A = this chain, B = another copy of it.
């Protein structure tokens, strides 16, 4: 298994052998394995290191006092959970595993060392932070303006492209190890309505979803339902252009 972070960063820039070596050393410091519903880090804790998802899915989430839960972000292989968060006194949200997951714990000093002495890698890590902000902004747009069908279709497009960027798609399919309740908490909808909306997308032949496998037979069709524009993922660098259907 190649370090999915390297794979992801190569969507932004070419990395030298030395850069990759540096990044692959991130893995040697301590790998944790967690099961579904276990927390990687919890609201209120003080983060001391940076967690990198190697395999499996996780999510940021926050509970309100009365039990409502919002899933704030999904984290897939190659995603950094909390880059730079050690600057803060405490986590303002929790991060939990959704599937069995393995994560590398990267000690703070390694990150700081890289950002001091390896500007190219530091830049790539900044790019990863910028795209995760861009994704958060796009979620704001979805939750504020898009209706249920657009919102769901938009999320599925995003997840498919993010997985493709780290080599985790297979033709027109990818894993989608989420329960409808988790989709609901991410989309700000009820589980019942997520179910209805999935039925609609299925009926329109826009998606197939059996078990934990999602198939998008015609990505452009789904994109147009969602008004999805992939720009915000910032996956194309100079001279390289993404064909969303490729």
Assess whether A127 is in contact with B231, with CB atoms less than 8 Å apart: no
- Asked if A140 meets B141 with Cβ closer than 8 Å, knowing A85-B130, A92-B134, the reply is no
What residues on B are CB-neighbors of A69 within 8 Å?
145
Assess whether B144 is in contact with A70, with CB atoms less than 8 Å apart: yes
Assess whether B137 is in contact with A93, with CB atoms less than 8 Å apart: yes
Restricting to A102-141, which residues have a CB under 8 Å from any CB of B? 116, 119, 123, 126-127, 129-130, 132-134, 136-141
Neighbour of A72 across the interface among B62, B93, B141, B146, CB < 8 A: B141
The reply to whether the CB of A208 lies closer than 8 angstroms to some CB of chain B is no
Assess whether A188 is in contact with B144, with CB atoms less than 8 Å apart: yes
The reply to whether the CB of A88 lies closer than 8 angstroms to some CB of chain B is yes
- Asked if A127 meets B65 with Cβ closer than 8 Å, knowing A136-B137, A140-B143, A141-B72, the reply is no
The count of residues in chain A whose C-beta lies closer than 8 Å to any C-beta of chain B is 49
- Asked if A145 meets B85 with Cβ closer than 8 Å, knowing A70-B140, A136-B137, A140-B139, the reply is no
The reply to whether the CB of A68 lies closer than 8 angstroms to some CB of chain B is yes
The reply to whether the CB of A45 lies closer than 8 angstroms to some CB of chain B is no
Stretch from A2-10, A155-163, A232-240 that touches the partner: A232-240
16 A–B contacts, CB within 8 A, in A order = A64-B146, A70-B140, A87-B127, A88-B127, A88-B234, A89-B238, A92-B138, A92-B234, A93-B137, A132-B133, A133-B136, A139-B140, A140-B143, A143-B144, A144-B186, A144-B188
